[in-house]
């Protein structure tokens, strides 16, 4: 008997992500009608926007027909068209809930969302039962090879089948599935770091050692065959830390082409992949998308890039916003492992050089460890997870969108920061002389730079994350031996 008059509502179960939904069914003397899956209403009720691409129907004419237990490499929404079924679900994913069991009866007024890696099985309780399921990947023999199976009679799961299995209709394959002790849990999808060799890429690898990391030599995003050869289904998140940052060189014909290829064309490829495979794309942006006439930049400010580098970063940002699940991390004056402004100033101080440093460009430093901490926070990855399960949790992540992310603290000029580096390394700060941008670049081929690069951090703070004050981060950076370095400052952070 179909239950009429229910309100659309989701109920969580003992298995994380497995949610039962009551469905409104409307009936009269002619029969009944229901909206089996209605994206807008069901998302509002808590159903993930899982992007189904295939609809399958299973028909069972005999009571006791039993199928499973199969954990599939995709998400699944199961509902009954006619009849009634007993369902049993077992968590077969890596993690603390491996082996957890949930059972329930489903009829046309009750459906269930089954996340990837949760084993599902169904036993018909009425003749001529049909149930439908939506999945967000296409079935193939290769995909089936990624299934994880559990025996229906497993003693650990101890499922109380309404119709005993020795009286039920089972396939020989289902009878032969392994017991829980012999099941290899389905691993989570992974995080991919692109641009692994840069300052931020190195910091990301330290924080996410279980993630896959690719440098330019590992994957040429302009090579269609190389891109197609990657198994993108094994990932749920791409962090794009790759960028062409030679601000002045980007103004040359050769540099302009390389900047557009790296910052725009490659990013467009990642955006297409992320959209096609429903991945989260984290993309690192720059203060150079603004001309610097506004003293403090918030996330809603329109783009006003001055030079080629800024234009390419603005174009990439616009592309990334088309990805349904994206985070644009806008940062400034990045400091990490490798050549950077702080290392250059520390090296000059040690070598007895008294530099002239620009004093009419203002902003805050962004240390890579703090950028990474902010990215993990936005994705919902706790530090404890990062080592062995670098996979975002949709229940704890922040809303998708653009977020400014630099260190906190007073606004400084490059000259102010240089003096601070000199003092912290035991030298006199007055050895640094301030100079205007115009005078510093007189006679040089240089790209225009924003005068004001300070980023508002209010939107980030509203998510519950506050980066360290830049002064504290700088002190720690210098104390831990990250500087000095004899390399020159990178073009983007030239004083």
Active site residues: 70, 133
Q: Using CA atoms in the order 383, 340, 362, 495, what is the torsion angle rounded to 10 degrees?
A: 180
Distances (CA, A) of 154 to 164, 359, 441: 13, 71, 74
Across 220-337, where does the E strand assignment appear?
A: 235-240, 280-286, 296-297, 326-331, 334-335
**Distance (Å, whole) CA 10 – CA 17:** 11
Distance from chain centroid for Cα 301: 24
492: its two tokens: 């983007």
478: its two tokens: 């210098």
Residues with Cβ within 8 Å of 58's Cβ and at least 6 positions away in sequence, in order, are: 67, 122, 130, 131, 132, 133
CB 495 within 8 A of CB 357: yes
Strands 280-286 vs 326-331: parallel, antiparallel or unpaired: parallel
Strands 356-358 vs 433-435: parallel, antiparallel or unpaired: parallel
420: its two tokens: 């601070």
**Distance (Å, whole) CA 176 – CA 238:** 38
CB 218 within 8 A of CB 242: no
Burial 141-163 (b: 16+ CB within 10 A, else e): eeeeeeebbbbbbbeebebebeb
Distances (CA, A) of 205 to 55, 195, 212, 401: 39, 10, 8, 23
Neighbours of 373 (CB within 10 A): 18
Q: What is the 3-state secondary structure (H, E, C) of 275-307?
A: HHCCCEEEEEEEHHHCCCCCCEECCCCCCCCCC
**Distance (Å, whole) CA 118 – CA 186:** 9
Angle at 475 between CA 484 and CA 239, to 5 degrees: 80
Residues with Cβ within 8 Å of 462's Cβ and at least 6 positions away in sequence, in order, are: none
**Distance (Å, whole) CA 406 – CA 368:** 9
């Amino acid at each position: 008997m179909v239950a009429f008059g229910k309100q659309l509502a989701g109920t969580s179960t003992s298995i994380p992500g497995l949610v039962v939904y009551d469905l409104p069914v409307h009936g009269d003397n002619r029969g009944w009608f229901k909206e089996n899956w209605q994206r807008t209403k069901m998302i509002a009720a808590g159903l993930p926007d899982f992007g189904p691409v295939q609809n399958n129907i299973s028909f069972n004419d005999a009571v006791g027909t039993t199928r499973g237990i199969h954990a599939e490499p995709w998400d699944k929404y199961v509902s009954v068209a006619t009849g009634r079924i007993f369902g049993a679900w077992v968590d077969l994913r890596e993690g603390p809930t491996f082996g957890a069991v949930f059972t329930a009866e489903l009829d046309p007024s009750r459906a269930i969302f089954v996340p990837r890696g949760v084993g599902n099985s169904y036993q018909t309780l009425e003749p001529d039962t049909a149930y439908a399921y939506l999945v967000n990947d296409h079935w193939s023999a290769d995909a089936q090879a990624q299934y994880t199976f559990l025996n229906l009679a497993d003693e650990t799961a101890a499922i109380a089948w309404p119709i005993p299995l020795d009286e039920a209709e089972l396939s020989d394959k289902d009878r032969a599935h392994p017991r829980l002790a012999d099941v290899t849990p389905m691993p989570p999808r992974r995080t991919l770091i692109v641009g692994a060799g840069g300052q931020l890429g190195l910091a990301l690898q330290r924080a996410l050692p279980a993630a896959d990391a690719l440098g330019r030599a590992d994957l040429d995003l302009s090579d269609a065959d190389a891109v197609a050869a990657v198994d993108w289904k094994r990932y749920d998140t791409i962090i794009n830390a790759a960028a062409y940052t030679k601000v002045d060189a980007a103004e040359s014909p050769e540099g302009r082409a390389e900047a557009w290829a790296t910052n725009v064309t490659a990013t467009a490829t990642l955006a297409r992949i992320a959209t096609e495979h429903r991945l989260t794309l984290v993309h690192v942006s720059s203060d150079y998308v603004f001309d610097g006439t506004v003293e403090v930049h918030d996330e809603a400010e329109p783009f006003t890039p001055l030079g080629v580098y800024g234009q390419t970063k603005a174009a990439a940002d616009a592309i990334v916003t088309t990805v349904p699940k994206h985070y644009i991390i806008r940062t400034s004056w990045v400091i990490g492992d490798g050549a950077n402004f702080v290392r250059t100033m520390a090296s000059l101080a040690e070598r007895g050089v008294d530099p002239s440093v620009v004093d009419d460009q203002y902003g805050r430093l962004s240390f890579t460890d703090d950028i990474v901490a902010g990215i993990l926070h936005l994705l919902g990855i706790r530090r404890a997870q990062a080592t062995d399960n670098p996979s975002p949790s949709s229940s704890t992540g922040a809303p998708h969108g653009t977020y400014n992310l630099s260190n906190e603290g007073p606004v400084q000029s490059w000259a102010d920061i240089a003096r601070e580096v000199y003092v912290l390394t035991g030298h006199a700060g007055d050895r640094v002389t301030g100079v205007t941008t115009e005078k510093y670049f007189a006679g040089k081929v240089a790209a225009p730079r924003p005068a004001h690069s300070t980023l508002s951090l209010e939107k980030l703070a509203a998510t519950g994350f506050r980066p360290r004050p830049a002064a504290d981060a700088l002190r720690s950076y210098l104390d831990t031996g990250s500087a000095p370095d004899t390399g020159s400052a990178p073009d983007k952070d030239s004083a």
